Amino acid sequence: MVVEDIRKAYGDLKAVDGVSLSVAEGEFFGILGPNGAGKTTTLEIIEGLREPDSGSVRLLGESPWPRRVPLLPRVGVQLQASSFFEKLTAREQLETFASLYGVGATRAHEMLDLVGLADKADTREDKLSGGQRQRLSIACALVHDPDVVFLDEPTAALDPQARRNLWDVLRAIQARGKTIVYTTHYLDEAEILCDRVAIMDKGRILAMDRPAALVRGLDAPTHVILERGSLSAADAAALPGSGEVGEDELSLTISTRQPAELLSALANRGALEGLQVRTATLEDVFLNLTGREYRA
Amino acid sequence: MTAFKSLALAMVKGFYRDKATLFFTFVFPLMFLLIFGLLFRDSGSEKITVGAVGEGPVITALADTGVVELERYPTMAEAVAKVRDGDLPAAVGQSGNEITYRFAASDQNQAGTVRGIVVGVVDNLNLAATNQPPRYTVDESNVEDSSLEPIQFITPGIMSWGVAISAVFGAALTLVNWRKKQVLRRIRLAPVGVPTVLSSRVVVSVGVAIVQAVVFLGIGSLPVFGLRLVGTWALAIPVFLLGVLAFFAIGMLVGAFCKTEEAATGAANIVVMPMAFLSGTFFPIEQSPKWMQAVSQIFPLRHMNDGIMDFLVRGQGASALVVPCLVLAGFTVVVGAIAAKVFQWEDS
């Protein structure tokens, strides 16, 4: 998938303002950013649902706009709203979507298993929980065994347990060799799941790389946090590798660029009470790129 | 299963699993059939009630005519009071050879009818009293006329109306709901063409209409209502099917314009309700003013009504197919083309 300098404006609002990216086969690619960053519009242009004002998209070697029927069976799309047929059960939804691609019912039932909804097969769509609906809509996107899967905010509005269940589903899909492109505003989640991420804000891509590389590129210090009172601030500052030392009512925070040395010194002193080690995250990357705190 | 079949199946399931839709498709029109059917059941044979006072050959002869219902009163004053109150159109009293007839000036029609009957009876008795053979005799026998028993026009009218409602609502609500929930968009992402989606909806609408027709005609034919279909009923089928298509097209147009189900329901009602009242659904169009009859010519429901009634109960020949079929087909094409023009896959 190759996207070159696509742009899309709605009136004065530049929803997508010159986005270029490429995704290799089998890759799990995340487009991250706060709401309104232009993630969904970017995805819709790549899927062939919208025409870009300018720029070009090649998806599996073809241009998705205007609607190209031979390309459609190779692409799976989960839309942001859970789009289901009214009054149908989970199984019937999948069977109906499967038949749109000429795929049999057996495959539809496999998909229910994959997303862990086998026991909800006969439950109507409107009686499913938020997480179950999300999993069902992902199953609907996968039912025709596409090569590329687009998921728009699949984990939005889910409780933490449902999100973790869904991660397992997403990993299982990747294990089948699919290319996954997904959007999320949970940076922590993207860091765990994605091979590569693009961080978007205001219609532009600010950075694109492996999450670990982005974080490393920040060159931010590691924070070692101890229970307050386990060590005095002065003692902490004197430890090898210790940088800035801060203290609040609960904890003592030492920032360091040589975490290994600092930690072994702390271990030697037996001062590991309530130890936490915080390295930089994608949120820090976002903060660094935009100069503002990340808010989903 | 093919995409066509499974889309149709999805729509059929969505239809019969929705109680409100079932109600408005079957129960609601049936309620009207029941109300109007029972209301008008005896309207052809209703007798006029007349106040009667005293005894004598005239009163007896009046009772024997079987055309009027006599209501007994002890005194003429009491009977006249009833007439004055508007409870009776007229009162007749006999005291010896004297006949008194009092009528309400407000109800000239009925009073006139009663007067004719009373005078006729008195004249006959007078003639009989003279022992002369009558010079003029009336040779009478009844002729089947072309006016219909109420149930004969109520059933086809309400059937057309019920079918129109469900065709418009079915098409409009499916379109709006699928667009709102992005099902249309999802279908667009699958290798399925517009003709498949459209034809599956048409087939479902026609199927629902056929079930409605069978139910309505079946219930109308129950002895309590007494609908009788004439030999040419099968010729009503093309008019019926074209009518369903015309209303399907209207539904597509409503669905193309409206963004929410609520708006679509309102718009569909605005389209169908006036049509129902002005197209002879609830009463014969011949009874309405001339201007209204002229206006109703622009409604497809009028032509569907006329066309179906011609064959279902009036026994017209095949030549009567031409006008309703052409009008309904033309309507379908024009409205369908406009709907296709304004159609959108998703909310902009």
Residue of chain B minimizing CA distance to A74: B190
The first and second tokens of residue A228, run together, are 């307050």
How many whole angstroms separate alpha carbon A146 and alpha carbon B153?
Answer: 57
What's the pLDDT tens digit per position in A140-160? Answer: 998 998 999 999 888 887 788
How many whole angstroms separate alpha carbon A263 and alpha carbon B29?
Answer: 81
Among B305, B302, B299, residue whose Cα is nearest residue B335: B299
What's the pLDDT tens digit per position in A203-214? Answer: 999 999 999 898
Among A289, A227, A234, A279, residue whose Cα is nearest residue A253: A227
Phi, psi (rounded to 5 degrees) for A206: -90, -35
Of A82, A87, A140, the CB nearest to B17: A87
DSSP line for A54-121:
EEEEEBTTB--SS--GGGGGGEEEE-SS----TT-BHHHHHHHHHHHTT--HHHHHHHHHHTT-GGGT
DSSP symbol at B259: S
Last residue of a domain, one of A213, A230, A245: A213
Query: Which residues form the domain of A244?
Result: 221-279
- Domain match, A169 and A242 both: no
The first and second tokens of residue B281, run together, are 């659904």
Residue B270's pLDDT is what? 92
Chain A neighbors of B14, CB-CB under 8 A: 85-88
CATH number, residue A262: 3.30.70
Chain A neighbors of B3, CB-CB under 8 A: 99-100, 102
* Domain annotation covers residue A86: yes
- Domain match, A179 and A266 both: no
* Domain annotation covers residue A242: yes
Last residue of a domain, one of A162, A192, A213: A213
- Domain match, A134 and A52 both: yes
How far apart, in Å, are the Cα atoms of A31 and each of A81, A201, B54? 18, 10, 102
Residues 6+ positions from B325 with CB-CB distance below 8 Å: B238, B239, B242, B307
* Domain annotation covers residue A136: yes
* Domain annotation covers residue A296: no
Greatest C-alpha distance within chain B: 98
Residue B147's pLDDT is what? 58
- Domain match, A87 and A177 both: yes
- Domain match, A205 and A230 both: no
Structural domains present in chain B:
3-41+149-342 (no CATH), 47-130 (3.40.190.10)
How many whole angstroms separate alpha carbon B169 and alpha carbon A249?
Answer: 66
CATH number, residue A161: 3.40.50.300
How many whole angstroms separate alpha carbon A207 and alpha carbon A21?
Answer: 11
- Domain match, A117 and A259 both: no
Radius of gyration of chain B (CA): 28
Whether residue B160 contacts residue B203, with contact meaning beta carbons closer than 8 Å, is answered with: no
Confidence of residue B23 (pLDDT cuts 50, 70, 90): very high
On average, the pLDDT of chain B sits at 87
Residue B338's pLDDT is what? 94
What's the pLDDT tens digit per position in B296-344? Answer: 889 999 999 989 988 888 888 888 899 999 999 999 999 999 999 988 8
B18/A contact by beta carbon, under 8 A: yes
Chain B neighbors of A49, CB-CB under 8 A: 185, 188-189
Pairing of strands A242-247, A251-256: antiparallel
How far apart, in Å, are the Cα atoms of A189 and each of A23, A66, A271, B211? 19, 33, 32, 53
Which three-class secondary structure state does DSSP give residue B222?
coil
Asked if A87 lies within 8 A of B18 by C-beta distance, the reply is yes
Interface test with B, best of A86, A143, A152 (most B CBs within 10 A): A86
Q: Which residue has the tokens 């492996």?
A: A210
Looking at the structure of chain A, the number of domains it has is: 2
- Domain match, A176 and A225 both: no
- Domain match, A164 and A237 both: no
- Domain match, A6 and A126 both: yes
Residue of chain A minimizing CA distance to B9: A96
What's the pLDDT tens digit per position in B36-73? Answer: 888 776 655 567 888 899 888 888 888 888 778 888 89
Phi, psi (rounded to 5 degrees) for B203: -60, -40
How many whole angstroms separate alpha carbon B309 and alpha carbon B313?
Answer: 6
* Domain annotation covers residue A287: no
* Domain annotation covers residue A141: yes
* Domain annotation covers residue A251: yes
How far apart are the CA of A91 and the nearest CA of chain B, in angstroms? 12
What's the pLDDT tens digit per position in A1-37? Answer: 999 999 999 988 999 999 999 999 999 999 998 888 8
pLDDT (mean) for B254-282? 90
Q: Which residue has the tokens 């399925």?
A: B192
Question: What ipTM was assigned to the predicted interfaces of this complex?
Answer: 0.80
Considering only residues A56 and B86, tell me which one the structure prediction assigns the higher pLDDT: A56
- As beta bridge partners, residue A148 has A75, A179
* Domain annotation covers residue A289: no
Does the pLDDT value for residue B191 go beyond 90? yes
Asked if A69 lies within 8 A of B191 by C-beta distance, the reply is yes
* Contact map slice: B 174-203 vs A, CB within 8 A: 177, 181-183, 185-192
Chain A neighbors of B13, CB-CB under 8 A: 87-88, 92
- Domain match, A145 and A184 both: yes
- Domain match, A13 and A137 both: yes
Chain B neighbors of A87, CB-CB under 8 A: 13-14, 17-18
Among B79, B124, B131, B129, residue whose Cα is nearest residue B101: B79
Whether residue B171 contacts residue B337, with contact meaning beta carbons closer than 8 Å, is answered with: no
Confidence of residue B345 (pLDDT cuts 50, 70, 90): confident
Residue B200's pLDDT is what? 94
Confidence of residue B289 (pLDDT cuts 50, 70, 90): confident
How many whole angstroms separate alpha carbon B121 and alpha carbon B131?
Answer: 16
- Domain match, A161 and A180 both: yes
Which three-class secondary structure state does DSSP give residue A22?
strand
Confidence of residue A80 (pLDDT cuts 50, 70, 90): low
B19/A contact by beta carbon, under 8 A: no
